[in-house]
Structure 1
Amino acid sequence: MKQLRILSMAACAVGFGLLASCSDDPDPVVVPPNESGFVEVDGGGATYPNSVFVSLRSGKQTAVARGNWDLAFSTGSDFKVLINGTTGAMASATSKTDINAVGAAEIAAAEASGELIMSFTNLQGILHVDDAANPLSKPVVAAVSATDATNVVYLLSRGASGVEAKPWKKIRVIRKGEGYTLQHANADATTFSSLDITKDKDDSFVYVSFESGIVDVEPAKTEWDIQWTAGTASTPYPDAVNGTLAYFYQDLVYHNIYGGVSTVQVMEADIAYEDFMAEDAAGLTFDSSNRLAIGSSWRLGGGPTSQPAVKEDRYYIVKDSDANVYKVRFLSLTKDGERGKPSFEYELVDAGK
């Protein structure tokens, strides 16, 4: 929903300064979007502990520790569950539907195959992560069926990429009315816990931590535009499954595809950042389905003889859920030489609704 600021009048002046009561339903006043801004991302430092959600409309950023959640439950009409790609989490389906029947044999098989270890030698890894570009289009956990008997148990590695390693879990998700029931336990346990999850239509997902239950992570679905984070990505690799390798990457920038945000890259050689105007957006093709349209393309990865740096030959046009159009230019990858504190500037080029 739109961000609104309600101005409530306690009384109205009439006549000679006398006061009379106002309507109980004052007209809402829409706060206009920021015309420009500069953001130093609160990524937390060199170990990149945070994911950071930024609203261009308000300039607000919300930093959340990447390890604070384990599963994200879709609030849409589908029944889908995502694992925490920002920690490098991986999951593997078992053939069993009784969570207590999963244990030593399944753990040993997964450990022997290495399928739940994120590495450049795990050529099967892409089969055990959510799709990096559009997770709901191909989640590793199958869509939750209305037929309980078809919902199998999964082994879950919670990831250890820049976060504290935690014990493997086993999970099973079934439907409960229009929501979910999560069954979960340590992978070698003989009992399990259950948690009911109710969909909240104001959010894209309901987030769950095995330790803390339902937790706050991303803002409401239309209250953020881009997210800076570390997370699971993919790259072409001939020997990997389907020619694609899963790996973990720092300094990814997602845009909010499930909240109505779209984006497109523009090269300085085509039109300079300073010269980009509202009419220039009309001829662009915005991407609303690949959250990695910005991804890692805004920075150089560095190597043996160079340091990571911002690419200065490009910028991005971002259209928010209210059709406000911004131009966004990344300025730095570090602050005082420390990673995890990038910065960018942005400017409103066309006000939407």
Structure 2
Amino acid sequence: MKKYQFFQLGLLTLSLGGLFSCSEDDSPIVVPPNETGTIEVNGGGETYPNSVFINLRATEQTAVSRESWDLAFYSGTEFKVLINGTTGAMASATGQTDINAVGETEIAAAEATGELILSFTNLDGILHVDDPSTPLSNPVIEAISSTEAENEVYLLSRGASGVEAKAWKKIRIIRNGQGYTLEYADADATTFSSVEISKDSDYNFVYFNFEQGIVSVEPKKSEWDISWTAGTSSTPYPQAANGTLAYFFQDLVYHNTQNGVGAAEVLEADIAYADFSSEDVLSFSLNTSDRLTIGSHWRAGGGPSSSPAVLTDRYYIIQDTEDNIYKLRFLSLTKAGERGYPSFEYELVEAGQ
């Protein structure tokens, strides 16, 4: 684990009096993490318009509109692009590599099958979304090849889950040195636009909106730990493709797996929240790959026969990118009865060393 180094000033009394300085060897200031906190998540209300990114160290949250972006370009070593699962976006490969060759025929085929509509009746839906748990391991858009001719054109539904439906797009992405070139147009257009997108190592992704261009969405990768959002999830279903059904869920909680944040679930029956201490940490394996380790597991109900409610029999352990370890439990789903404002409390169990 990393070791906090607290800045100590060495005072040097000068003959001129009243002035102080510190040596060039002094360590930089490192702000210790907050030890406790309670956060009421600003999800925006009952229509859950926001995704909210939360920094536990600072007890801070950043709320952004779910529909503020369309594509997320990975800034890591691989060349991968995600679609906006928080709006229920879906995509389908066309088999074409010329964007102008894609049009009415491909649109009609997709409309006939309903493959780009996220619903419980779309048994092939999981084939047209990024993997909800590990999106970078299985994105619907194939990894961008260094061989330009291997990069296909995709039809893209921008999603209509809790947001207003927008016209479909067609897109093709190729490599541009260490970045990307995006070709895009309305699905039935005969011309297209293109834009170059550079990676930014301070962020997990660079986000793009078809109307606004590059937009700011998630904070720097070192400045958030978990996020609350509505988005595409999945559940086992034997009749569906790959035995998995894709569907839309209102209260998902991701953790920042792209930057090494880990999470684990703890049951009160095993160790009570109040009793969990640093001595218990090694008893749990922190998951740094499945961003849905918390996911929807913190709440129950919400179907036709029951109202949603926080599950009080469990809580979560979070290890941030500075190796601080927290315990976290959800307190409520609503604010004054209104959905979209869940709350939770957390406590530092062990500071990074």
Q: Smaller-chain TM-score range?
A: over 0.9
Looking at structure 1, the residues matched to 27 and 242 of structure 2 have their Cα atoms a distance apart, in angstroms, of 55
1:25 CA drift (Å): 8.7
1:78 maps to 2:83: no
> Where does 1:1-353 land on structure 2 (aligned, <5 Å)?
14-17=14-17, 19=19, 27-353=27-353
Looking at structure 2, the residues matched to 144 and 306 of structure 1 have their Cα atoms a distance apart, in angstroms, of 44
- Amino acid across the alignment from 2:253: V
Query: In the superposition, relative to structure 1, how do residues 18 and 269 fare at CA in structure 2: closer, same or farther (>3 Å)?
Result: closer
- Amino acid across the alignment from 1:299: R
1:28 CA drift (Å): 1.5
Looking at structure 1, the residues matched to 254 and 83 of structure 2 have their Cα atoms a distance apart, in angstroms, of 16
SS in structure 1 opposite 2:109?
Answer: helix
Looking at structure 1, the residues matched to 38 and 153 of structure 2 have their Cα atoms a distance apart, in angstroms, of 46
For residues 17-37 of structure 1, the C-alpha deviation after alignment (integer angstroms, 9 at most, x for no partner) is 154776789742100001000
For residues 86-145 of structure 1, the C-alpha deviation after alignment (integer angstroms, 9 at most, x for no partner) is 000000001111111111111011001100000111111110000000100000000000
Task: Return the TM-score normalized by structure 2.
Answer: 0.95
1:301 CA drift (Å): 2.4
Task: Return the TM-score normalized by structure 1.
Answer: 0.95
- Amino acid across the alignment from 1:117: I
Looking at structure 2, the residues matched to 120 and 251 of structure 1 have their Cα atoms a distance apart, in angstroms, of 17
SS in structure 2 opposite 1:53?
Answer: strand
Is the CA contact 1:222–1:260 (under 8 Å) kept in the aligned structure 2? no
Gaps of 5+ in 1: none
Is the CA contact 1:319–1:326 (under 8 Å) kept in the aligned structure 2? yes
Looking at structure 2, the residues matched to 21 and 302 of structure 1 have their Cα atoms a distance apart, in angstroms, of 61
Please tell me the root mean square deviation across aligned C-alpha atoms, in Å: 2.0
Looking at structure 1, the residues matched to 249 and 303 of structure 2 have their Cα atoms a distance apart, in angstroms, of 14
Runs of 4+ in 1 over 6 A off after TM superposition: 20-26
For residues 41-100 of structure 1, the C-alpha deviation after alignment (integer angstroms, 9 at most, x for no partner) is 000000000000001111110001000000001111110000000000000001111111
Gaps of 5+ in 2: none
- Amino acid across the alignment from 2:346: Y
Is the CA contact 1:257–1:289 (under 8 Å) kept in the aligned structure 2? yes
Work out the number of aligned pairs and report it: 349
Query: In the superposition, relative to structure 1, how do residues 303 and 123 fare at CA in structure 2: closer, same or farther (>3 Å)?
Result: closer
Query: In the superposition, relative to structure 1, how do residues 23 and 185 fare at CA in structure 2: closer, same or farther (>3 Å)?
Result: farther
Looking at structure 2, the residues matched to 62 and 97 of structure 1 have their Cα atoms a distance apart, in angstroms, of 38
1:347 CA drift (Å): 0.1
Looking at structure 1, the residues matched to 247 and 86 of structure 2 have their Cα atoms a distance apart, in angstroms, of 11
SS in structure 2 opposite 1:127?
Answer: helix
